[in-house]
Amino acid sequence: MIEIRNLTKKYGQFLALDNVSFDVKKGEIMGFLGPNGAGKSTTMNILTGYIPCTSGTVKVGGFEIMENPKEVKSQIGYLPEIPPLYGDMTVDEYLKFIFELKSVPLNQRKRQMDDILYLVKIGDMKKRLIKNLSKGYRQRVGFAQALVGNPPVLVLDEPTVGLDPSQIVEIRKLISSLRHDHTIILSTHILSEVNAVCSSVVMVNHGRIAAKGSVSDFTASEGSVNKFIISVVGNKNAIQKTISEVSGVRNVTFLRVDKDAALFNVESSRNVDVRRPLFNELARASLPVIELRPVGRSMEEIFIDIVNNDKYVSETAGNERGEED
Amino acid sequence: MGTIYKREMNAYFRSPVAYTIIALFMLMVGLFFWVRNLLYASTDFSGALSMTSTYLTFLMPTLTMKLLSDERRNGTEVLLRTSPTPMWKVVVGKYLAALTLYGIMVALTAIYPIVMTFLSETGIPVGKTFGGYVGFFLLGATYLAISLFASSFTESQVVAAISGIVALLVLYYMQSIGATIGGTFGSILQWLSPLKRYSDFSLGGFNIASLVFYLTFSGMMVFLSVLNVERRRWQ
């Protein structure tokens, strides 16, 4: 659906995007990650036709943005970081204005309007002036704007920033519900959001792609080991000895003491589930297990890794980095 | 184009700006009617319009100051640029909205010549009044286009208004500057002065060349505004 190839953008001498390439398949929700100033907004601004690129190509639904801007723009609904709203219009008037601006056929407007108002839950606010709405509602009106014309592609730039927790959950639900008939690019800083709604991830840093792949590739534990944290009551040395004798356990490291329990980091081969034998052996030795939890790499850890160490190469997601390092 | 035009018309009448400007304008016209028509016992309204025209220098930029600058400040420029509607339609739609508001203001002043037609025994000088109106409208239309262009440079309404006023003041004095300098350059300046052509109209002379001049000048300024808006996209 979206094909970005060798996208480069220079602002004077400053290289904002350096040879960025990625695809977003139809029906995919792509999480677009990266620290501030990494080039996320620049990429989205080029994709939506707001600014031109220095070189490279952007194709949406087979059309190139510089060659057929009108065709590309009519396929994209864009919610910028600051929702583009006119405070002096009511929600109703504003959306009608957008329908006209996007030249949506007259006979589709009424039904689409009803659908959108229902979907983003702003039906009650129809007659209110936008400047009098709360931030959460403004964000929803901005969202509604992006949905006008039922574009197959949605580009959402940090849609949940500044919302309260329940609003965040609602907007995420909304995004998830749109996945069936839309291709979505979702830029965000909130990494749990990526876990919650996205199917694939592209990470950028310093204007370059730092990593890309599916969400499960990213969050799965690294390499060929399963990791657990186990918390056991009893003598530290006895516990360590018992755990290390369980077959399948590769490595045990003591972490710390928490009240009367000791915490250990346990690693096992990926294809062996050591949790049951671990529990049984410790119980036999009268060392009660009070907690056992698997450790996967969180999005946060991966993100910070990439930001701190630009040499990061995603093992599981396949090496998509260029040769610039 | 119609979409933007409608939005801007609504925006004008939803804020106090349009009403304030109309009220101020009518106050001035009323004052000059009193000076030129009542005190002199004259039925020629073009004189009052002529006196008012000086103040268009300050009024017209207030009509256009927010048209392009506010879109940038508001972040709504993204919306317009990423929509399938081309930017030239946006700019022209905005210009036409400002022009309509100005047209309404001019139309409201027609009350004076109409009343004079009924109350005076001699009637009014129709040709001169009509010429005065045409010139007055064309002058305002040109001023609007120039101040729209000023609005395309900045995201601040205040800067847009001030630079518009300065540009119009320069034009305002161009005629007298040209006359002072004399020579070929002086004549060029005078030829370019929109004000000089306006005085032709208000003397009752309907000049096709001047009509073309005003329309071309306005068109050029609107065109330059479109170019300027497009140019910024490439920076």
Query: Which chain A residue shows the shortest CA-CA distance from B1?
Result: A101
In the numeric block, which tokens belong to residue A270?
Answer: 């990926």
**Whole-angstrom distance, CA of residue A322 vs CA of residue B176:** 66
Picking from A52, A80, A87, the nearest residue to B78 by CB comes out as A80
Q: Tell me the pTM.
A: 0.83
| Cα–Cα distances in angstroms (integers) from residue A153 to residues A26, A146, A172, A241, in the given order | 9, 10, 17, 57
Domain boundaries in chain A?
Answer: 2-219, 225-294
CA-to-CA distance for B73 and B89, rounded, in angstroms? Answer: 20
| Residue with the two structure tokens 């290390």 | A244
What does DSSP assign to residue A28? -
- pLDDT digit string (tens) for A177-196? 888 889 999 998 777 788 88
Q: Which residue do the tokens 């010429």 mark?
A: B131
Q: Dihedral through CA A39, CA A102, CA A90, CA B225, nearest 10?
A: 70
Q: Smallest CA–CA separation between A49 and chain B, in Å?
A: 6
Interface test with B, best of A55, A71, A100 (most B CBs within 10 A): A100
Predicted local confidence at residue B179, as pLDDT: 86
What is the per-residue pLDDT for A313? 44
- Give chain B positions within 8 Å (CB) of A70: 84, 86
Q: Whose CA is closest to B148, among B233, B84, B91, B88?
A: B91
Q: Which residues of A touch B86 (CB under 8 A)?
A: 70
**Residue A312 confidence class, pLDDT cut points 50, 70, 90:** very low
Q: What is the pLDDT of residue A222?
A: 53
- Of the two residues B192 and A300, the one the predictor is more confident about is B192
Percent of chain B clearing pLDDT 70 (strictly above): 100
Least CB–CB distance from A49: residue in B6, B11, B82: B82
Is the minimum CB–CB distance between A320 and chain B shorter than 8 Å? Answer: no
Instruction: Name the pLDDT band for B140 (thresholds 50, 70, 90).
Output: very high
CB nearest to A74's CB, from B75, B84, B234: B84
Q: Where are the beta strands (DSSP E) in chain A?
A: 2-11, 14-24, 29-33, 55-60, 63-64, 76-79, 153-157, 183-187, 200-205, 208-214, 225-233, 249-258, 261-269, 289-294
Instruction: Check residue B122 and give its pLDDT.
Output: 82
Instruction: Mark yes or no for CB contact B83/A52 under 8 Å.
Output: no
What local confidence, expressed as pLDDT, does residue B226 receive? 95
Whether A101 and B85 lie within 8 Å, measured CB to CB = yes
B114 token code pair: 């109409």
Option in B3, B74, B78 nearest A101 (CB): B3
Cβ-based neighbours of B23, under 8 Å, separated by 6 or more:
none
Which CATH number applies to A2-219? 3.40.50.300
Domain A225-294 fold: Alpha-Beta Plaits (3.30.70)
Least confident of A206-220, A242-256, B33-47: A206-220
pLDDT in tens, B47-71: 899 999 999 999 999 999 999 999 9
Mean pLDDT of B179-206: 83
| A68 → chain B, closest CA residue | B84
**Of A58-67, A155-164, A291-300, which range is least confident?**
A291-300
State the pLDDT at residue A320: 41
pLDDT tens figures, B78-121: 999 999 999 999 999 999 999 999 999 999 999 999 999 988 88
